[in-house]
């Protein structure tokens, strides 16, 4: 133990100098860290309070409220869209027309049949027979592509054209959305 004390007394000035240098190094590291922390505090304060006086918390809550109101609006729009889709199903979507010469003694195709159908091939077929002295028009209801009344060949063709045009348009839409 005496040897350790003798060594300390010999090297006391050197140990003291080492401790002072070590303390100065620690103080310098403290100053560097303090500088970094103050920069972070300044950034944090700017983030929370902002340059324009608004703080981050207010902005976040405002955005959350806006998102909630947008969700409600979107829900309302979805409901309206569903309602419109249901209405569209029963609207006229398929139209087919055929012109023909109803009487052999007539010179051109002035008679016609028009099929007006919805998504389920329900609607009506309207025919007009043109003659020299008179023109006769009539309509027949169509349910699921068929009528309870006897259909003429031209009326059947008009219904088929309406169905084919609808299929053609559906195919065209499918190709465009690929």
State the residue range of the domain holding 61: 54-88
**pTM greater than 0.85 (yes/no):** no
Cα(94)–Cα(163) distance, integer angstroms: 6
Q: What does the pLDDT look like over 110-119, one tens digit per residue?
A: 899 999 999 8
Q: ∠ CA 133-136-142 to the nearest 5 degrees?
A: 165
Residues 140 and 72 both lie in one domain: no
Cα(159)–Cα(33) distance, integer angstroms: 85
131 found inside a domain: yes
Q: Could you give the dihedral angle defined by the CA atoms of residues 55, 56, 59 and 64, in that order, rounded to the nearest 10 degrees? A: -150
Q: What does the pLDDT look like over 151-161, one tens digit per residue?
A: 999 999 999 99
Structure tokens, 132: 């020299």
Structure tokens, 147: 């009528």
Residues 77 and 32 both lie in one domain: no
Domain count, the chain: 3
């Amino acid at each position: 133990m005496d040897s350790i004390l003798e060594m300390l007394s010999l090297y006391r000035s050197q140990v003291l100098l080492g401790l002072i240098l070590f303390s100065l190094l620690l103080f310098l590291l403290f100053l560097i860290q303090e500088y970094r922390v103050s920069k972070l505090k300044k950034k944090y304060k700017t983030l929370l309070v902002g340059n324009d006086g608004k703080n981050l918390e207010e902005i976040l809550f405002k955005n959350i409220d806006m998102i909630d109101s947008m969700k409600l609006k979107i829900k309302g729009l979805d409901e309206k869209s569903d309602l419109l889709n249901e209405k569209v199903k029963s609207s006229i979507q398929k139209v087919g027309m055929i012109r023909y010469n109803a009487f052999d003694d007539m010179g051109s195709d002035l008679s016609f049949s028009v099929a007006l159908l919805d998504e389920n091939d329900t609607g009506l077929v309207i025919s007009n027979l043109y003659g020299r002295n008179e023109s006769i028009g009539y309509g027949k209801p169509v349910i699921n592509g068929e009528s309870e009344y006897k259909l003429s060949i031209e009326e059947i063709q008009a219904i088929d054209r309406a169905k084919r045009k609808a299929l053609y348009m559906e195919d065209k839409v499918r190709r465009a959305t690929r």
